[in-house]
Amino acid sequence: MGLRSNPTGNLSFSPSLILLLLLVSLFASVQVYSAEVEKEELDGPKDLGRRSKISWNNVDTIAAKKDVVDSEDLNLDLDSVGLGVFDAFFASLSMIIVSEIGDETFIIAALMAMRHPKSIVLSGALSALIVMTVLSTGLGRIVPNLISRKHTNNAATVLYAFFGLRLLYIAWRSKADSKSSTKKEMEEVEEKLEAGQSKTTFRRFFLRFCTPIFLESFILTFLAEWGDRSQIATIALATHKNALGVAVGAILGHSVCTSMAVIGGSMLASKISQGTVATVGGLLFLGFSLSSYFFPPLFLVALENYHSSNDSLPNTLHAKMVKNGSIFESRKFILSSYVKSEKLNDARKVFDEMPSRDVLTWTVLISGFARVNCSEMALQLFREMLVEGVYPNPFTLSTVLKLCSRVGDVKMGKGIHGWILRSGVSLDVVLENSMLDLYAKFDEFDYVKKLFDSMREKSTATYNILLGVHVRSDVNKSLDLFRNLPCRDTASWNTVICGLMQGGYLNEALELLYEMVENQPEFNKVTSSIALSVVSSLLIIELGRQVHGRILRCGFHNDGFVKSSLINMYIKCGNLEKASVIYSQMPSGFGKKQDFDIVYSDTMTEIVSRSSMVSGYVRNGKYEDAFKTFVSMVRERVLMDKFTIASVVSACSNAGVFELGRQIHAYIQKTGEQLDAHLTSSLIDMYAKGGSLDCARQIFEQMTYLNVVIWTSMITGCALHGQGKEAIRLFEKMRYEGMIPNEVTFIGVLAACSHAGLIEDGRLYFNMMKDVYAIKPKVEHFTCMVDLYGRAGRLNEVKKFIYENDLSHLNAVWKAFLSSCQLYKDIEMGNWVSERLFRLEPLDEGPYILLSNMCSSNQKWEEAFRTRRFMQHRGISKTPGQSWIHVKNQVHSFVAGDRSHPQHAQIYEYLDNLIGRLKEIGYLFDVKLVMQDVEEEQGEVLLGWHSEKLAIAYGLISLDSAIPIRIMKNLRMCTDCHNFMKLTSQLLCREIIVRDIHRFHHFNSGHCSCGDYW
């Protein structure tokens, strides 16, 4: 509407101008689209600066440029047969009528009919719709993205804006009442058409179909129809129904809807002024223009969403080509489709069935395996390629050299370099960069210098590689090189900052990061990850939040690698809640893709993220959350690294969840995971702390390679179980085999001597640590020595040892001394030690409890009362004794006199009967251990209800007689409970294992592993 000549003569319409605008826009869009297709032909590992690309020839070029889009793109079955002409006709007719009423095309036809003769408007609109219907039907059977709606959208935006502004101009120039002039103009057009009836057929056709009104109707209808609901529906129906029936039904539906719009518009024309029609039309067209510009086309969005979610497209296309016999001409295309979809198993099968394979075919498959980190398979393909006599091109060689860098095969990389020189391969900057990067990563500095000097062309990537070499060897030289680089990009900043961070120059790396932000180069995903690593190493959480904010502004927050770095940063900075929130936002389903034993990039991201969360939970003592995360990984069959498994095993040992630890060990054996030093030491520690020293010893003896960490774990395990002489034997064997002990090893040996009462051996190894291995003793070593002397009752030697070594400022040393005073009931010495502890730690409950219990055990009730009243005055509360037992995947907790357990009545009844039977064989309550001034009978009741006795009773009720009873206690086990356990193991022939705050006690047949020395 409104494209006729202006009555005032001030604005004229030229059909050629509109056609020119349309053609220019479409031509530009096709050029852009072709360029975009070419960019996607081959997507291998990230280049070091290459600008050239590999492309298919002949048939495969055409197929690739269609971007693998067939009728499958609409999620319909390609192999189904059309359901008949009539079925297709009625489906298409009803679909068009439903989707066309009231849409953009309908409004345009109605508006134009208000201003122009309805016959011309109708003919122009129907011509456009017929052309569009035929095109859409053909697209549904061939390729539905011949001309992308993304680019025709540019033409629509420009033309809609042009027509809208022109209509608003007409409305502004029109008179107040133009109904009569409008009618007169329409009559003039009709008279011209009737005058042409006497002319030849060609002249009549020309007068009707080459008028500005017809062209305007045709162009606007075509633009409005491209990519809207009705065209999408037509294409979808044509993919699986009879094309002729779809086309006829769609044309008839368009005719009905457009006729209704034209008739309705012409009826309203006599009632609405020219200015109103032009104003409404102009505003609507401007609205269409804004809508085309700001909102993505439905057709394009549908295709993009389909491509991103449909993994079965290559298989469907492959099946269709096999069925119609075109597979022989399109094998390269199918191979490329499988590689792009990361279906490398299917890609390898297609590749193996190809009768002839050229360098491009080999390169596509090698690049596919390289892209998903299956480096060994890619290198094996390269070897097979050479055996078959296929000559690799520079791109193939560049890819393989990067793979050699990744797997650490510098020998093969040198061999390829030699082959390149012998074969006279033309070197470009990218291939030379690949060789330079290979030698740089393996610190082959002579090769790096020679190759760098021989390069005629040097890119920014070349200087970045050289910068990476210097930052690992000479920081000052690398910084000078960085400052003097001829051109610096984001990779240059990333290289030097990462190198400084890895070299331990964290403050320098942070300063350079600030400088990078000030200079405002591109802040990419790699920069984000490096910045987060620097922040997590420095533990500056506020700076980490700032980096997180920048990541959100840059739009990197959805990248899996960046999210993993964020999780790690928040965990290391102690904000586990924020890390949990970010982790919960990661998409599920990662880590399950397995094809040729490939570890995909998204899988690695998931592995790192989950490993970080598990280790974070363990580090912060949230063992239950760590167990839940691990169990979910096992159930979802997510790949796990050894670090994750070792972290969970450590959590089992710390939490005393022995049964879960055994299940994890079984999982390791089932999956065939090879035990490394870290995982082996974790398993030994778990079994030792779970009370099964024999299992720990079996794992230790099965290892062919033993390092100091594994030796130390086994020695410490023996120390926990009171096997001091075995610990010393292992230590001497370790030294005999040439292994150098570290400070942790000596802690284990000294603790073993302490628990076994081996005073002379302890003194020998303490001096050996200082004199032979030049290890400076730490607080843990001094504490072991004080405990060694104190357990043996040599309290005066303890006092002398503390002053000789200037240990009076160490709380742990005085606590060990006070514990020994309580053990030997030396109240005078205990008071003296307590005074010093009160000055060092006035709010620590430990010294008060030890002193109070010491006084109570000696019946000095007033002194015990004063000590407890002093605690209350300072607001210090006592941690109650608590015991745990693990039964049927559930942890049961008990405190003295506890009746909160659901089976408390049964527990107390069984315990009373058991105590009665034990008294028959000589068990007596040690009422001196009662810490309250009560009668003897009351004291027996208090002793009988100790938490470990309640736990034992529940274990005897709940567990089979062949299963050992394992109990954990948060305090040192008292003498009365120790006697109770010995006699119970003798009476009931049960194995009882108790782990208190200091060590393990194995009760069996009336004996304890500690030899009553604890």
What's 46's DSSP letter? Answer: P
Q: Determine the pLDDT at residue 19.
A: 38
Residue type present at position 836: R
Distance of alpha carbon 373 from alpha carbon 48, whole angstroms: 17
Residue 112, in any domain of the structure? yes
Is 478 in contact with 467 (CB distance < 8 Å)?
yes
Report the Cα 363 to chain-centroid distance in Å. 30
Q: Determine the pLDDT at residue 157.
A: 67
Distance of alpha carbon 379 from alpha carbon 396, whole angstroms: 11
Distance of alpha carbon 948 from alpha carbon 951, whole angstroms: 5
Distance of alpha carbon 4 from alpha carbon 958, whole angstroms: 96
Boundary-marking domain end, from 299, 331, 349: 299
Q: How confident is the model at residue 179 (pLDDT cuts 50, 70, 90)?
A: very low
Helix (H) or strand (E) holding 385: helix 375-387
Distance of alpha carbon 515 from alpha carbon 754, whole angstroms: 56
Residue 833, in any domain of the structure? no
Q: Determine the pLDDT at residue 600.
A: 45
- Tell me whether residue 350 is exposed, middle or buried, using C-beta atoms within 10 angstroms of its C-beta: 0 to 12, 13 to 18, 19 or more: buried
**Residue 669 reports pLDDT greater than 80:** yes
96-126 per-position pLDDT tens digit: 665 555 566 666 666 666 666 666 767 767 6
Nearest to 177 by CA among 107, 327, 277, 252: 277
569-613 per-position pLDDT tens digit: 898 888 888 888 888 776 654 444 444 444 444 556 667 777 788
Report the Cα 775 to chain-centroid distance in Å. 42
Long-range contacts of 403-408 (CB under 8 A, 24+ apart): 403/370, 403/375, 403/378, 403/379, 404/379, 404/438, 405/437, 405/438, 405/441, 405/442, 406/373, 406/375, 407/375, 407/376, 407/379, 408/442
Nearest to 366 by CA among 633, 44, 21: 44
Q: Determine the pLDDT at residue 77.
A: 35
Q: What angle do CA 340, 345, 347 make, to 5 degrees?
A: 50
Q: What average pLDDT does the chain have?
A: 74
Q: Determine the pLDDT at residue 6.
A: 34
Is 341 in contact with 375 (CB distance < 8 Å)?
no
Is 666 in contact with 631 (CB distance < 8 Å)?
no
Taking the model in full, what pTM does it have?
0.59
Residue 579, in any domain of the structure? no
Distance of alpha carbon 423 from alpha carbon 438, whole angstroms: 20
965-999 per-position pLDDT tens digit: 999 888 888 888 888 999 999 999 999 999 888 88
Residue type present at position 853: N
Report the Cα 882 to chain-centroid distance in Å. 40
Give the phi and the psi of residue 967 in degrees, each rounded to 5.
Answer: -130, 145
pLDDT above 70 covers what percent of the chain? 66
Is 781 in contact with 749 (CB distance < 8 Å)?
no
Q: What's the per-residue H, E or C state across 318-367? A: HHHHHHHCCCCCCHHHHHHHHHHCCCHHHHHHHHHHCCCCCHHHHHHHHH
Is 597 in contact with 374 (CB distance < 8 Å)?
yes
The neighbouring-strand residues paired with 890 are 887
Distance of alpha carbon 164 from alpha carbon 223, whole angstroms: 14
The residue assigned the tokens 């991201």 is 605
Q: How confident is the model at residue 858 (pLDDT cuts 50, 70, 90)?
A: confident
Helix (H) or strand (E) holding 576: helix 576-584
Nearest to 781 by CA among 759, 756, 812, 815: 812
313-333 per-position pLDDT tens digit: 666 767 766 666 656 656 777
Residue 162, in any domain of the structure? yes
Decide which of 194 and 1002 is more confident.
1002
Residue 789, in any domain of the structure? no
Looking only at the bridges linking them, the beta strands covering 890-895 and 1007-1008 are unpaired
Boundary-marking domain end, from 276, 299, 322: 299
**Residue 64 reports pLDDT greater than 70:** no
**What SS3 class is residue 870?**
helix
The neighbouring-strand residues paired with 1004 are 1007
The number of distinct structural domains making up the chain is: 3
Asked which of 252-261, 650-659, 726-735, 742-751 is least confident by mean pLDDT, the reply is 252-261
Is 785 in contact with 766 (CB distance < 8 Å)?
yes
Nearest to 245 by CA among 61, 435, 397, 96: 96
Distance of alpha carbon 160 from alpha carbon 439, whole angstroms: 59
Distance of alpha carbon 664 from alpha carbon 649, whole angstroms: 7
Longest dimension (CA), the chain: 136
With a CB cutoff of 8 Å and minimum separation 6, the contacts of 138 are 238, 243
pLDDT mean over 441-453: 83
Identify the CATH number of the domain in which residue 633 sits. Answer: 1.25.40.10
Boundary-marking domain end, from 681, 700, 719: 700
Q: How confident is the model at residue 700 (pLDDT cuts 50, 70, 90)?
A: very high
Question: What are 268's two structure tokens?
Answer: 């309203």
pLDDT mean over 222-244: 61
What's 5's DSSP letter? Answer: P
**Residue 712 reports pLDDT greater than 90:** yes
What's 487's DSSP letter? Answer: S
What's 853's DSSP letter? Answer: H
Residue 110, in any domain of the structure? yes
Helix (H) or strand (E) holding 992: strand 992-995
**Residue 809 reports pLDDT greater than 80:** yes
Q: Determine the pLDDT at residue 237.
A: 57
**What SS3 class is residue 211?**
coil
Residue 335, in any domain of the structure? no
345-394 per-position pLDDT tens digit: 888 888 888 888 888 889 888 888 888 778 888 888 888 888 888 888 88
* Order of all β-strands in the sheet with 882-887: 890-895, 882-887, 965-969, 992-995, 1000-1004, 1007-1008
Residue 504, in any domain of the structure? no
Is 791 in contact with 824 (CB distance < 8 Å)?
no
Report the Cα 419 to chain-centroid distance in Å. 40
455-471 per-position pLDDT tens digit: 888 888 888 888 887 77
Report the Cα 480 to chain-centroid distance in Å. 37
The domain of 594 spans 589-700
Helix (H) or strand (E) holding 100: helix 85-100
Nearest to 501 by CA among 556, 563, 565, 578: 565
Instruction: Break the chain down into helix, strand, coil percent, rounded to 5.
Output: 70, 5, 30
- Tally Cβ neighbours within 10 Å of residue 166: 20
Residue length of the chain: 1014
Q: What's the per-residue H, E or C state across 507-561? A: HHHHHHHHHHHHHCCCCCHHHHHHHHHHHHHHCCHHHHHHHHHHHHHHCCCCCHH
pLDDT above 90 covers what percent of the chain? 15
Q: Determine the pLDDT at residue 685.
A: 92
629-649 per-position pLDDT tens digit: 888 888 877 777 788 888 899
